[in-house]
Amino acid sequence: MSAPPVDPRQLVAASTADPGPSLHRQGRYAGIISRSVAIGTDAVVLAVVSIGSLFVLQAIAAMVEGKPFGDVTIQSELGVTVVVLQSTLYFTVAWAVFGRTAGEALFGLRTIRRNGEPLGWGRSFLRFLVWPFSLSLCGLGFAWMLIDGRRRTWPDLIAGTVVVYDWRRADLATAEVIHPHG
């Protein structure tokens, strides 16, 4: 469950005190390096989960068919479907429920709406749907952050989101909203 919306003009409490070296960028738009490394981390997480899931499906099929594990193959259509569904669930649920994926959390990033509020289910799903299109044009949709003043990608522009630095622990800051600098 997400916390009730807070006035987006409210600054993060951590930024009023001496934030320490890691919090100096708190609330600022995330850069291409940190976002790229976070996406790479998410790709590794999804690869491990997908390989594990396909391995389990193959083992179940081998048991049901009564064949040795190595003699059973998963149809490519089923494999692609499993990977697409897992990717959709991974990103949509992560952004809608936590405001960040595992990779974004590891690198202190949070995806929020432009007004500082959480994404919600619709925006999270829409943002995910635009990803393949952004990648299909040689990554132009993601390279767009190099020319956008708020470092937004095409998925950010279409879903009305931004990615900001946020190193707060979720359990200590349940009622706070990051207000991206303007």
- Is 154 part of any domain? yes
- How many structural domains is the chain composed of? 1
Q: What is the pLDDT of residues 33-49, one digit of tens each?
A: 999 999 999 999 999 99
Q: What is the pLDDT of residues 48-65, one digit of tens each?
A: 999 999 999 999 999 998
Residues 6+ apart with CB under 8 A from 181: 27, 28, 29
Q: Which residues pair with 163 in a beta bridge?
A: 111
Work out the average pLDDT over 134-149.
88
pLDDT at 33: 92
Q: What is the pLDDT of residues 5-29, one digit of tens each?
A: 444 444 334 334 444 545 556 678 8
- Is 118 part of any domain? yes
Helix or strand or coil: residue 53?
A: helix
Residue 128: domain span: 13-172
31: left (phi over 0), alpha (psi -120 to 50) or beta: beta
Going 148 to 29 to 10 to 6, the CA torsion angle's sign is: positive
- Is 180 part of any domain? no
- Is 181 part of any domain? no
Q: What is the pLDDT of residues 119-128, one digit of tens each?
A: 999 999 999 9
Nearest alpha carbon to residue 91 among 130, 146, 147: 130
Taking the C-alpha atoms of residue 136 and residue 66, their distance in angstroms, rounded to an integer, is 41
Is 167 in contact with 12 (CB distance < 8 Å)?
no
Would you give the distance in Å from CA 120 to the centre of its chain? 13
pTM summary value: 0.76
Residues 6+ apart with CB under 8 A from 130: 141, 154, 155, 158, 159
